[in-house]
Amino acid sequence: DAGVTQSPTHLIKTRGQQVTLRCSPISGHKSVSWYQQVLGQGPQFIFQYYEKEERGRGNFPDRFSARQFPNYSSELNVNALLLGDSALYLCASSRFQNTEAFFGQGTRLTVV
């Protein structure tokens, strides 16, 4: 079975640009969560989607948005990129809310 897949794996963007990151959950998983991990820290929660509805949001500015599609895949959008947005963006899927979550390999975003 395929695990959580994220694309792209690496991305370089310029300040002010917009970026879209993609995540395909494990088959049968209905919950997708997004995390930001900067170097030297643990992942920080951004969003959780379950059954295509937003169920949780972390302390991130409105420049960050996400959605979940009918096939349970998800996109994370970040507008007006700042240098500080450079990080590893992780997607995790779980069968339901509050069950074991499995992470993808992440998308490494570098903002220059």
Partner 1 sequence: GESVGLHLPTLSVQEGDNSIINCAYSNSASDYFIWYKQESGKGPQFIIDIRSNMDKRQGQRVTVLLNKTVKHLSLQIAATQPGDSAVYFCAENIEGNDMRFGAGTRLTVKP
Smallest gap from residue 18 Cβ to partner 1 (A):
24
Task: Tell me which residues in 29-58 interact with partner 1 (CB under 8 A).
Answer: 33, 35, 37, 39-45, 48, 55-56, 58
List the beta bridge partners of residue 89.
36, 107
Stretch that binds partner 1, among 18-26, 61-69, 72-80, 97-105 (CB under 8 A): 97-105
Residues with Cβ within 8 Å of 87's Cβ and at least 6 positions away in sequence, in order, are 36, 37, 38, 39, 109
Q: Which of 74, 106, 66, 67 is nearest to 88 (CA)?
A: 106
- Comparison of 43 and 80: residue with beta carbon closer to partner 1: 43
Residues that bind partner 1 (CB under 8 A): 4, 33, 35, 37, 39-45, 48, 55-56, 58, 90, 92, 96-98, 100-106
